[in-house]
């Protein structure tokens, strides 16, 4: 089979993955190939045991079309979701089901020169424990914070690699395709391909976490900007008078009043001043546990915890009002770790939009919470791998050949 035909079969697998169940006619349209051509290669995938029939599509007035789906065990994606404090590693099948358990690793990224080698070693161990045949691994998708240069495979803020490729470093050790991207971009990709943004051409996906990221979907595509660094929503200077130092070193950035770390900080300060609440023993050292505790308290009606989300939500709405005014999106999707707070965000954000947006611009913009079942950051890492499924293995082969040249070896402790 020619390389062109192999790439086309992989393209079919990619669209089957993102659409879960789809007809041959729809695959033909998506891949811009004739129906007979598409049918030929789809039948080959069925004969190979990669694709199965999944029943008939809903009737549109004529004969109902047969739908097709990937076999769940066709392949497995190793998904890595990193934030500044914690890294989660999980393995997903072709239906985005988690295989085994998601492993949580305490892996701080700031001022940690060993972070990359620690990540690599953790990946090696996790894959080994999974006992999955390496031939069944589609690849490793890694979601990470910071300024990520996708083409060079470099993160300019975290995971120091001596200006060499993070991708190459990990790939040399594990020998499967590796792709990296910014966490907020990948949460945007997850929503675009598998979530609330699927049927919207223009959407803003807010990644609420230790910072506040943004995945921008413009004209049906993920928008990255000139250097790939678009979406640093955290650092727009909305609160210049608050004199709070942001993680970027400047003052008054959006994240200083809206991030989950900001909420934890205000919770700790409020309790120290005698605020009545069921909350106790909160700390930045146990940020994840503290964040969960505040969310749970708010969901159970704790007035102080609700006030924290109301204030953060209103302040987040100020930033969202700017996005709506500039970009006029169809939908704003609240995603990421903080989306677990659910409807607590909606009313205060909407209030800020009502107060600070021109009504005509904002009247048709929807505000929704992500509905992705698993952690969006893991799904985003899987989506990255499958978005590039038709080309990733070819790129991996080229990189492997280049890395056989001794001068290209990466030296990291």
Tokens of 4: 């062109």
CA distance 326 to 358: 11
* 141 and 382 Cβ atoms separated by less than 8 Å: yes
Strands (DSSP E) found in 224-361: 331-335
Residues 6+ apart with CB under 8 A from 408: 168, 402
CA distance 177 to 121: 16
CA distance 92 to 104: 15
Among 45, 327, 77, residue whose Cα is nearest residue 205: 327
Distances (CA, A) of 93 to 26, 97, 139, 306: 23, 5, 12, 37
* 323 and 357 Cβ atoms separated by less than 8 Å: no
Query: pLDDT tens, 30-66?
Result: 999 999 999 999 999 999 999 999 988 776 666 778 9
CA distance 165 to 179: 11
Distances (CA, A) of 40 to 5, 28, 54, 171, 195: 11, 11, 18, 34, 30
How much is the mean pLDDT over the chain? 90
Block residue for tokens 């991996």: 396
Block residue for tokens 């008054």: 252
Query: pLDDT tens, 216-249?
Result: 999 999 998 888 889 999 999 999 889 899 888 8
Reported as a pLDDT band with limits 50, 70 and 90, residue 164 is confident
Residues 6+ apart with CB under 8 A from 355: 321
pTM of the model: 0.88
Strands 137-144 and 98-106: what pairing? unpaired
Residues 6+ apart with CB under 8 A from 11: 31, 389, 390
Give the dihedral sign, CA 229/230/231/233.
positive
Lowest mean pLDDT among 2-16, 113-127, 284-298: 2-16
pLDDT reported for residue 374: 58
pLDDT reported for residue 240: 85
Is the pLDDT at 23 greater than 80, yes or no? Answer: yes
Reported as a pLDDT band with limits 50, 70 and 90, residue 1 is low
Give the dihedral sign, CA 283/159/259/296.
negative
Q: Which domains occur in the chain, in start order?
A: 3-70 (1.10.10.10), 74-185+376-408 (3.30.420.40), 196-369 (3.30.420.40)
Query: pLDDT tens, 184-225?
Result: 999 999 999 999 999 999 999 999 999 999 999 999 999 988
Query: pLDDT tens, 293-331?
Result: 999 999 999 999 999 999 999 999 999 999 999 999 999
CA distance 405 to 76: 30
* 9 and 41 Cβ atoms separated by less than 8 Å: yes
């Amino acid at each position: 089979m020619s390389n062109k035909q192999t790439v086309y079969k992989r393209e079919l697998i990619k669209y089957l993955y993102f659409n879960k169940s789809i007809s041959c006619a729809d695959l033909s349209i998506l891949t811009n190939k004739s129906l007979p051509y598409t049918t030929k290669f789809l039948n080959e995938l069925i004969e190979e045991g990669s694709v199965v029939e999944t029943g008939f599509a809903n009737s549109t007035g004529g004969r109902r079309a047969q739908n097709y789906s990937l076999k769940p065990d066709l392949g497995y994606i190793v998904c890595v979701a990193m934030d500044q404090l914690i890294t989660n590693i999980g393995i997903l099948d072709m239906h985005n089901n988690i295989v085994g358990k998601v492993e949580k690793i305490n892996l701080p990224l700031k001022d940690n020169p060993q972070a990359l080698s620690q990540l690599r070693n953790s990946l090696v161990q996790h894959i080994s424990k999974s006992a999955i045949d390496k031939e069944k691994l589609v690849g490793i998708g890694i979601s990470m914070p910071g300024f990520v240069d996708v083409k060079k495979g470099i993160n300019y803020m975290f995971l120091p690699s001596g200006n060499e490729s993070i991708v190459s470093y990990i790939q040399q050790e594990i020998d499967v395709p590796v792709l990296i991207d910014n966490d907020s971009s990948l949460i945007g990709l997850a929503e675009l391909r598998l979530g609330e943004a699927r049927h919207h051409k223009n959407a803003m996906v807010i990644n609420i976490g230790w910072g506040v990221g943004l995945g921008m979907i413009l004209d049906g595509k993920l928008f990255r900007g000139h250097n790939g660094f678009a979406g640093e929503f955290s650092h727009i200077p909305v609160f210049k008078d608050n004199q709070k130092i942001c993680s970027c070193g400047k003052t008054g950035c959006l994240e200083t009043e809206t991030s989950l770390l900001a909420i934890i900080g205000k919770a700790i300060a409020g309790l120290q001043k005698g605020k009545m609440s069921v909350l106790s023993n909160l700390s930045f050292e146990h940020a994840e546990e503290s964040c969960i505790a505040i969310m749970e308290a708010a969901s159970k009606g704790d007035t102080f915890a609700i006030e924290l989300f109301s204030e953060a939500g209103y302040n987040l709405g100020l930033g969202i009002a700017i996005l709506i005014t500039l970009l006029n999106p169809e939908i704003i999707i609240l995603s990421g770790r903080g989306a677990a707070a659910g409807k607590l965000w909606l009313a205060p954000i909407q209030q800020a939009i009502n107060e600070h947006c021109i009504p005509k611009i904002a009247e048709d913009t929807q505000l929704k919470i992500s509905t992705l079942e698993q952690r969006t950051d893991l799904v985003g890492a899987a989506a990255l791998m499958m978005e590039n499924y038709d080309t990733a293995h070819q790129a991996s082969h080229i990189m492997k050949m280049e890395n056989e040249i001794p001068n290209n070896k990466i030296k990291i402790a």
